[in-house]
């Protein structure tokens, strides 16, 4: 063989041998969530659902191996910032997923997106990031916080409630959830009660409510806060007297602890375990089989986030070029457990929203039962403020 032909053949052989190894280089994905403390159930559900997709795909997303770097942000913005620095500078991840709480998302989103990292949020959806602070490499798969509240606001309007007291922790998501409720429920609220994010004793606030006798109470208390709040509401004898309308309070993370004390509580969300679409039926069955518990909305959203990344990496054949990957993510080419799903101009979801009641399921457990669809193909209220078009 001539030297030039031999050199070419050897080069081709070397490339052929190297290509499979290069193709199998794992894609690093940072996964940041609350994995300890009172809110650990939320982050754990998110992580378990995300990893369920990875494990079902043989350790891959988009037909390429992935290395999921799990990090506990501890509900502390300063810790989250340290994790973000590590993921950017040391691990050089192209994607960060998870992010449970809105104060954590607000603390790290700018740092991550400015560094060129693509953020695929699985729960937190603070209003500023849907509006003026939106970013082309920030994709929130869950919802914009106000949207659950808007669905419940419509339900309260339809029920004809005239005097409603709102209760929520005093932080970004709590403010969003009240703002969203008021956007649709036009009647001025009888009162707005904001409590510290760490408060677990609600006896004083519930005494005020009992004395005021509103038509209903609207509340947002996630995770361990929700367990404490709903129990206290029931123990105060209010459940049977004053309807309790909630968002992210009575859900898959809290109902195992609340059990029958939550019966009759209403909840608004984009997802429930009884939604009849095939993707959701498979998800619920697979999650229950592996983890021996019913998934929550946090799990459903995070499962969708993994499916989204899977669909995008498949389109890019494992490539993580930011512009190409963003285009693939924007297409949202996956079957959501929530049914119809697409991204608006601000990379926040356009989806349907429902109201559920906590009731006994076929197994005799307290679970969410669909009552009505409140909003169809609903865009968030801040998309018009986002400079992306």
> 226-245 burial, b for 16+ CB within 10 Å, e for fewer?
bbbbbbbbbebebbeebbbb
Phi and psi based region of residue 245 (left: phi greater than 0; alpha: psi -120 to 50; beta: remaining): beta
Q: Evaluate whether 69 touches 29 at the Cβ level (below 8 Å).
A: yes
pTM of the model: 0.90
Report pLDDT for 100: 97
pLDDT tens digit sequence for 185-195: 999 999 999 99
- CB neighbours (10 Å) of residue 267? 29
pLDDT tens digit sequence for 246-280: 999 999 899 999 999 999 999 999 999 999 999 99
User: Domains in the chain, start-ordered, CATH in brackets?
Assistant: 25-144+276-351 (3.40.50.2300), 146-274+354-378 (3.40.50.2300)
| H or E stretch covering 146 | helix 146-159
**What whole-number distance in Å separates Cα of residue 70 and Cα of residue 68?**
6
pLDDT class for 229, splitting at 50, 70, 90? very high
pLDDT tens digit sequence for 64-120: 999 999 999 999 999 999 999 999 999 999 999 999 999 999 999 999 999 999 999
Q: Evaluate whether 314 touches 352 at the Cβ level (below 8 Å).
A: no
Q: Which of 273, 157, 296 is nearest to 222 (CA)?
A: 296
β-pairing, 366-378 vs 349-360, is antiparallel
Report pLDDT for 7: 45
Query: Which strands, in side-by-side order, build the sheet including 138-140?
Result: 60-61, 64-72, 27-33, 95-98, 118-121, 138-140
pLDDT tens digit sequence for 34-51: 999 989 999 999 999 999
Helix 297-316 / helix 40-56 crossing angle, nearest 10 deg: 40
């Amino acid at each position: 063989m001539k030297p030039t032909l031999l050199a070419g053949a050897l080069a081709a052989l070397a490339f052929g041998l190297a290509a499979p190894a290069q193709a199998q280089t794992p894609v690093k994905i940072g996964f940041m969530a609350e994995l300890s403390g009172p809110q650990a159930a939320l982050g754990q559900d998110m992580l378990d659902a995300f990893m369920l997709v990875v494990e079902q795909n043989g350790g891959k997303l988009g037909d390429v191996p992935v290395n999921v770097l799990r990090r506990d942000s501890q509900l502390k913005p300063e810790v989250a910032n340290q994790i973000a620095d590590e993921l950017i500078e040391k691990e050089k991840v192209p994607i960060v997923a998870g992010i449970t709480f809105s104060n954590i998302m607000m603390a790290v989103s700018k740092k991550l997106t400015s560094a060129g990292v693509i953020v695929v949020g699985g729960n937190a959806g603070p209003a500023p990031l849907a509006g003026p602070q939106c970013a082309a490499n920030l994709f929130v798969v869950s919802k914009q916080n106000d949207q659950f509240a808007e669905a419940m606001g419509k339900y309260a309007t339809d029920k004809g409630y005239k005097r409603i007291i709102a209760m929520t922790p005093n932080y970004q998501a709590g403010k969003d959830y009240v703002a969203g409720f008021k956007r649709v429920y036009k009647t001025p609220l009888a009162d707005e009660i904001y409590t510290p994010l760490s408060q677990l004793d609600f006896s004083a606030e519930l005494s005020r409510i009992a004395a005021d006798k509103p038509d209903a109470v609207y509340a947002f208390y996630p995770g361990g806060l929700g367990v404490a709040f709903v129990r206290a509401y029931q123990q105060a004898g209010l459940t049977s007297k004053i309807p309790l309308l909630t968002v992210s309070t009575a859900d898959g993370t809290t109902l195992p602890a609340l059990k029958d004390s939550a019966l009759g509580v209403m909840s608004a969300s984009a997802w429930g375990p009884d939604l009849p679409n095939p993707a959701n039926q498979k998800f619920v069955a697979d999650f229950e089989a592996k983890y021996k518990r019913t998934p929550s909305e946090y799990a459903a959203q995070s499962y969708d986030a993994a499916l989204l990344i899977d669909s995008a990496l498949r389109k890019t054949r494992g490539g993580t070029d930011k512009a190409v990957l963003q285009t693939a993510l924007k297409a949202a080419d996956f079957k959501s457990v929530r049914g119809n799903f697409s991204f608006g101009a601000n990379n926040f979801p356009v989806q349907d929203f429902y109201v559920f009641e906590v009731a006994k399921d076929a197994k005799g457990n307290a679970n969410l039962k669909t009552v009505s669809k409140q909003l169809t193909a609903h865009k968030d209220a801040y998309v018009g403020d986002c400079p992306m078009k």
